[in-house]
Amino acid sequence: VMISHGYRKRGCGIVLVKRVKNPIRLAREMLVRGGESDGGSENDGGGGGAQGHCVLGGKTVEDLAEKWNLEMVDESYFWTRKRWDEHKRGLNDGEMERYLESDDTRRKERLMPGEGWDGKEYLPQGTVGCVALDRYGTLCVATSTGGLTNKLSGRIGDTPTIGAGFWAEEWEEPMPMMMYRQPAVKASVAAILPRNVLQVLGDCFPTWSGYTETNTLWPQDSKASNDGLRAVAMSGTGNGDSFLRLAATRTAAAIARFAPQRSLASAIRQIAGPGGELQQSASNRWGKTGEGEGGIIGIELVNGVGKISFDFNCGGMFRSWIDDNGNERVMVFREEYEQ
């Protein structure tokens, strides 16, 4: 979870939990408690023990979850037949491909809905992300995942890593400085010229008075200038290790912030679009191991107006949003918004 609030950065990640029913609520609780004036430190009389930490995991954070009265469950709560079968297929080399190519019609319809669908080139990674903009111009992002199927125990992915799988940032962009012309004033030339030179000038130019008019450009009062508020927030999904290597969401934000005249849409395209940094990072593994695959969705706020941006480098990405007219939109593939 991360929230944009001026130059103050506030974000938290929760990792390696087994009994917290809703880890995203735990991350939120940690964020709120860490934002208290004392950092949530019990030693300083604060309420919670988060102590302003950004990332906590394992037994430590699960003990805090119990202390904060969050709902806890047995590990068996998270077991599903679908994921268990996926796990077993993943342990057998080639089993997944044989599964997709089997003659089970219902299975094909379920996994491959639509002509040209191969059941592989999309992002069913189990990651769920949300970006929200409130009426006060505050952006918040929250992302959660079960991780990568058959990953090694202890592996930490991009989802709980600030700047890799999620990011929110706000800043002020100076507006072009307005200048005004000062009324013409008379500057004394006589004060800097020798007397004999003044006499010669007076003889040659009867109207010479020793003064000349000058015009000066002065900046407006700094208090009258208006800086433009700008903010971005993003959530990513895909191959987490590739997102980690690129610090993908923070890099996209940095492009939008520090590169001249760059929108968040163009920054996301550079990172997660076809041929972008994620894809290039896979090098010769692209299209073979899943490395480099991914997508990002986010909101950019410019002068009080929010704009949704997204891109991905694979066959599709499940996404939904509410457009400027208040209509709910749900999409998977790219072609729907290119037509």
Query: What was the pLDDT predicted at 315?
Result: 86
Task: Give yes or no for residue 313 having a pLDDT over 90.
Answer: yes
Sign of CA dihedral 111, 114, 119, 121: negative
Q: Is 60 a catalytic residue?
A: no
The model's pLDDT over 252-268, given as tens digits with 9 standing for 90+, comes to 999 999 998 899 999 99
The model's pLDDT over 118-142, given as tens digits with 9 standing for 90+, comes to 444 444 557 899 999 998 889 999 9
Nearest CA to 238 among 289, 283, 168? 289
**What is the average pLDDT across 294-300?**
96
Contact 65, 80 (CB under 8 A): no
Q: CA-CA distance, 165 to 142, in Å (whole number)?
A: 10
Burial of 181 (0-12, 13-18, 19+ CB in 10 A): exposed
Query: What was the pLDDT predicted at 89?
Result: 78
**List 60, 80, 105, 127, catalytic entry:** 127
Query: What was the pLDDT predicted at 93?
Result: 55
Highest average pLDDT, of 52-61, 137-146, 183-192, 265-274, comes from 265-274
Q: CA-CA distance, 262 to 295, in Å (whole number)?
A: 19
Tell me the two tokens of residue 89.
């297929």
Alpha helix (H) residue ranges in 104-214: 105-111, 195-204
Query: What was the pLDDT predicted at 2?
Result: 92
Contact 244, 158 (CB under 8 A): yes
Contact 35, 9 (CB under 8 A): no
